[in-house]
């Protein structure tokens, strides 16, 4: 066995099959010569009764001296009881973030999340996460990688924060599945961007314009009666879009709408007389299960966004989203003096904090009452009314 040098390595002829030439100075250090003529440096040792071999690099990519140094380091690890070949094999078998995304979606999201949430998760996984860190090994992802991805999306803070939430949940599941050590979630301590909550409520005049447009497009046939009914029901009930979109006739009872599965679980929604009148006037195809009929037989309508864009443009409400109809319902309820807890129940909020975004509107009836009361008392205090209205005695 000669000492491996650049000259001896390059002079080794290729044969019909692979063969090895071992160095005379470092036991287990050698070069592998392949039939193609390619040569790669190797380190070989025994561990657990088995021969283990590690490729150190191709000749030409690294020098003999570099390979010899790597072989010494590897043999030093073996002397300490380590098994570098197995560690390398485990690393190579380790799943990528892309494969974790697929498993996370199939084994967790599909099993536990509602269709709308599944769509949001799929979008984050396929559009934002896989292209950026999909090739990374799951075990190699660090906080700086997550922070860089999040920072890259800073122009859309809401989407950046939703993507961060998806990543955090996914890496929590990676720990549960044994793909990362416990407590190693790389999303921890990555600060979210501040989000500006969008609050758009329709005024009385805007509601009147919208109502007039709904009547016009219904009478002209520009929009179907089911489309118009959907928007009217959204305004009168404060329901979420999907709750009306997928509403079935058998969900409607004398107590209201008995929805078996909503964003916050099963819930009963009151049906005011105005809403019941809309349902009573709505044409119903015999045997059709859905209230808002779609174009496909026995299916609910799947697209209300395009009709809404046409309707809102005609009403001069281009900045109003469908979800703003729900905000309008809530704002009117709070402004009329309804307790915030009751509004939360009407909206189906699982947490009072969600409803508290409307709390400032509760000041309106208080201000009106204060103004009216001050006007009644002002004649006494300021002498502006010779015959002030009588004080009402409460007792």
Residue 15, pLDDT > 50, answer yes
pLDDT of residue 393: 47
What token pair was written down for 289? Answer: 């299960």
Residue 87, pLDDT > 80, answer no
What is the value of pTM for the model shown?
0.58
Same fold, 6-92 and 204-362: no
| CATH architecture assigned to 204-362 | Orthogonal Bundle (1.10)
Taking a C-beta distance cutoff of 8 angstroms, is the pair 78, 47 a contact? yes
Residue 6, pLDDT > 60, answer yes
Residue 353, pLDDT > 50, answer yes
pLDDT of residue 335: 79
pLDDT tens-digit readout, 27-71: 999 999 999 999 999 999 988 788 888 889 999 999 999 999 999
Kindly state the average pLDDT of the residues 148-160.
95
pLDDT of residue 342: 83
Give strand pairing partners of 33: 19, 39
| CATH architecture assigned to 97-176 | Orthogonal Bundle (1.10)
pLDDT of residue 227: 96
Whose structure tokens read 């809404």? Answer: 308
* Domain range summary for the chain, segments of one domain joined by +: 6-92, 97-176, 204-362
pLDDT of residue 162: 95
What token pair was written down for 205? Answer: 């005049």
pLDDT of residue 84: 83
Lowest mean pLDDT among 28-37, 198-207, 287-296: 198-207
User: For the purposes of burial, counting CB atoms within 10 Å of the CB of 81, is it exposed (0-12), middle (13-18) or buried (19 or more)?
Assistant: exposed
Lowest mean pLDDT among 24-28, 295-299, 350-354: 350-354
Closest by CA position to 182, among listed 193, 192, 174: 174
Q: Cβ neighbours of residue 273 under 8 Å, at least 6 residues apart?
A: none
pLDDT tens-digit readout, 308-350: 999 999 999 999 999 999 888 888 888 777 877 887 788 877 7
pLDDT of residue 90: 60
Domain 6-92 bears CATH identifier 3.65.10.10: no
Farthest-apart Cα atoms in the chain, separation: 123
Q: Whole-angstrom Cα distance, residue 30 to residue 47?
A: 18
Residue 96, pLDDT > 60, answer yes
Whose structure tokens read 């009881």? Answer: 81
Instruction: Identify the residue with better confidence: 48 or 202.
Output: 202
Q: How confident is the model at residue 395 (pLDDT cuts 50, 70, 90)?
A: very low
Residue 171, pLDDT > 90, answer yes
Residue 150, pLDDT > 60, answer yes
pLDDT of residue 359: 64
Kindly state the average pLDDT of the residues 288-299.
92
Residue 122, pLDDT > 90, answer yes
User: For the purposes of burial, counting CB atoms within 10 Å of the CB of 343, is it exposed (0-12), middle (13-18) or buried (19 or more)?
Assistant: buried
Q: What percent of the chain has pLDDT over 70?
A: 88
């Amino acid at each position: 066995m000669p000492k491996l040098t650049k000259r001896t390595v390059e002079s080794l002829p290729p044969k019909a099959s692979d063969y090895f030439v071992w160095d005379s100075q470092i036991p287990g250090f050698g070069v592998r010569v392949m039939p193609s003529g390619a040569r790669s440096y190797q380190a070989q040792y025994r561990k657990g009764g088995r021969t283990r071999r590690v490729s150190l690099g191709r000749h030409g990519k690294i020098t003999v001296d570099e390979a010899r140094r790597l072989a010494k380091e590897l043999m030093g690890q073996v002397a300490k009881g380590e098994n570098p070949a197995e560690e390398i094999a485990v690393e190579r078998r380790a799943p990528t973030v892309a494969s974790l995304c697929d498993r996370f979606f199939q084994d967790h999201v599909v099993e536990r999340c509602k269709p709308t949430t599944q769509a949001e998760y799929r979008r984050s996984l396929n559009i934002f996460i896989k292209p950026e860190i999909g090739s990374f090994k799951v075990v190699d992802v660090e906080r700086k990688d997550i922070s860089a991805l999040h920072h890259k999306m800073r122009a859309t803070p809401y989407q950046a924060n939703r993507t961060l939430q998806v990543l955090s949940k996914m890496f929590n599941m990676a720990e549960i599945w044994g793909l990362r050590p416990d407590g190693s979630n790389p999303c921890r301590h990555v600060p979210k961007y501040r989000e500006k909550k969008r609050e758009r409520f329709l005024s009385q005049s805007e509601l009147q314009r919208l109502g007039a447009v709904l009547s016009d497009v219904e009478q002209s046939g520009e929009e179907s009666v089911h489309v118009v009914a959907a928007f009217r029901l959204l305004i009168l009930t404060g329901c979420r879009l999907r709750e009306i979109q997928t509403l079935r006739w058998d969900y409607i009872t004398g107590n209201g709408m008995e929805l078996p599965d909503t964003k916050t679980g099963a819930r009963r929604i009151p049906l005011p007389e105005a809403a019941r009148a809309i349902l009573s006037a709505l044409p119903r195809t015999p045997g059709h299960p859905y209230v808002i009929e779609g174009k496909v037989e026995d299916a609910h309508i799947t697209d209300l966004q395009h009709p809404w864009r046409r309707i809102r443009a005609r009403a001069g409400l281009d900045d109003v989203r469908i979800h703003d109809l729900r905000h309008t319902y809530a704002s009117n309820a709070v402004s009329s003096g309804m307790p915030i807890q009751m509004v939360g129940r009407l909206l189906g909020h699982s947490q009072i904090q969600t409803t508290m975004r409307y709390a400032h509107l509760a000041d309106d009836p208080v201000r009106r009452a204060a103004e009216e009361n001050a006007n009644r008392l002002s004649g006494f205090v300021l002498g502006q009314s010779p015959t002030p209205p009588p004080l009402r005695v409460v007792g």
